[in-house]
């Protein structure tokens, strides 16, 4: 239950303080708060990217209602959500299955061999012996590039792999 004092959201304790000589039950019910004029009529939360409570509004009958502020995600928020959705690491099994699904697994050896030393040797060791594959590893970016993937393509492979 939302309560108000003079159009500002209030707690039970604040409403009780307005009536120092009145005894209230531990959590006053809606009828009591309506009678005292402190009840706020809830309104359904609207759909939207970012929805936050807005200021209280009073209608023609004197009833207070909850309002909402709705806005679209900013470019920064969308980028942060995208970044947060990419797993930091995957298992070699997951990586190989995702590459297989993308028809890239058969190209991995050639892609590793196309790298310059010492990146080629690093990628080979990582590919053959790693117990986890970290998205932030430089060899992943180099191998992805050799496979024709940009950063988003690598991110998509990591997302796919994490589900396998």
pLDDT at 159: 95
Task: Answer yes or no: is 43 within a domain.
Answer: yes
pLDDT at 162: 95
Task: Answer yes or no: is 105 within a domain.
Answer: yes
Q: Is the pLDDT of residue 90 over 90?
A: yes
98 and 141 within one domain: yes
pLDDT confidence bin for 33, thresholds 50/70/90: confident
The 3-state DSSP class for residue 10 equals strand
Domain count, the chain: 2
Q: Is the pLDDT of residue 99 over 90?
A: yes
Burial class (CB in 10 A: 0-12, 13-18, 19+), 139: buried
152 and 89 within one domain: yes
Q: Is the pLDDT of residue 63 over 90?
A: no
93 and 50 within one domain: no
Q: Is the pLDDT of residue 76 over 90?
A: yes
- Averaged pLDDT for residues 76-89: 90
Smallest CA-to-CA distance from 63 within 34, 85, 106, 86 is with 34
- Averaged pLDDT for residues 25-43: 85
pLDDT at 47: 94
- Rounded CA gap, 85 and 60, in Å? 46
Tell me which residue range forms the domain holding 126. 85-162
94 and 47 within one domain: no
Smallest CA-to-CA distance from 92 within 140, 55, 53, 138 is with 140
């Amino acid at each position: 239950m939302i309560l108000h004092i003079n159009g500002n959201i209030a707690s039970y304790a604040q409403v009780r303080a307005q009536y120092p000589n009145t005894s209230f039950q531990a959590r006053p019910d809606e009828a009591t708060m309506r009678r005292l004029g402190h009840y706020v009529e809830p309104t359904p939360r609207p759909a939207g990217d970012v929805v936050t409570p807005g200021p209280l509004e009073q209608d023609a009958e004197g009833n207070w209602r909850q309002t909402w502020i709705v806005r679209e995600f900013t470019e920064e928020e969308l980028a942060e959500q995208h970044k947060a959705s990419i797993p930091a690491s995957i298992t070699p099994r997951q990586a190989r299955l995702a590459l297989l699904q993308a028809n890239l697994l058969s190209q991995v050896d050639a892609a590793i061999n196309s790298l310059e030393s010492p990146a080629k040797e690093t990628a080979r060791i990582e590919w053959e012996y790693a117990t986890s594959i970290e998205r932030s590893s430089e060899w992943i970016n180099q191998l992805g590039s050799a496979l024709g993937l940009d950063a988003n393509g690598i991110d998509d492979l990591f997302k796919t792999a994490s589900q396998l």
